[in-house]
Amino acid sequence: MSFLRTASIVAGTVLVAGIVGIGSYTALGGKMPGAKSCPGGITGASIGAPFELTGADGSRIGTKDLAGKPTLLYFGFTTCPDVCPMELAEVGEAVDILAAEHDLDVQSVFITIDPERDTEDKVGEYAAFFHEDMIGLTGTPEEIDATARKGFRVYYGRVSDPDFQDGYTMDHSNIIYLLDREANYRTFFRGGEATPQSIAEGTACHMG
């Protein structure tokens, strides 16, 4: 496992546990009191906020447009060498499992945390590689900061690397978020631990 991947998993675990503020119990995937017992991480936390970003065709897409279907949401970047492709492939497969085995129509969304390099065309093409219906979104650095860091408590930052395009790569938390039919946060699945089947089972359970 690469250093960046290890750091991303650790950062995501610490981050999500910290924002809820109930310590090691939730760091291990505990549920808030009274939460539904389904596969997944913390439920009932104050995570997520309304957002509006730019899609592949230049249209503005936000939480109001996602409402109506459950959503699996992932933050990453298109030049990510290993973590993002693996997690997005699992999200795409989970969406197909949900349709085939649970008769549940779930949409998937990829939001870049590298807006300076990830143009509208790039995020659209990248997302479609993992699932034909996956939505790719980008925006201004300010919009991404408001959505990722402030809204969903995503950790991300530049890491200097002369072997990468423009001399840097990105480090980021490795979390798959589940939004409900009102586009509100429901739970999360840990990247590097969850499988397409467990993501599908957890989503079906929470949406059941």
pTM of structure: 0.84
CB within 8 Å of 185: residues ≥ 6 apart: 45, 47, 48, 152, 177, 178, 179
Task: Give the pLDDT confidence of 92-131 residue by residue, as tens digits.
Answer: 999 999 999 999 999 999 999 999 999 999 999 999 999 9
User: Domain 3-30+50-207: which topology?
Assistant: Glutaredoxin (3.40.30)
CB within 8 Å of 5: residues ≥ 6 apart: 82, 83, 174, 192
Q: What is the pLDDT of residue 7?
A: 45
Task: Give the pLDDT confidence of 23-55 residue by residue, as tens digits.
Answer: 333 333 444 444 557 877 777 678 999 999 999
Task: Give the pLDDT confidence of 168-186 residue by residue, as tens digits.
Answer: 999 999 999 999 999 999 9
- Angle at which helices 3-20 and 83-102 pack, to 10 degrees? 60
The structural domains of the chain, with segments of one domain joined by +, span: 3-30+50-207
Instruction: Give the phi and the psi of residue 43 in degrees, each rounded to 5.
Output: -115, 160
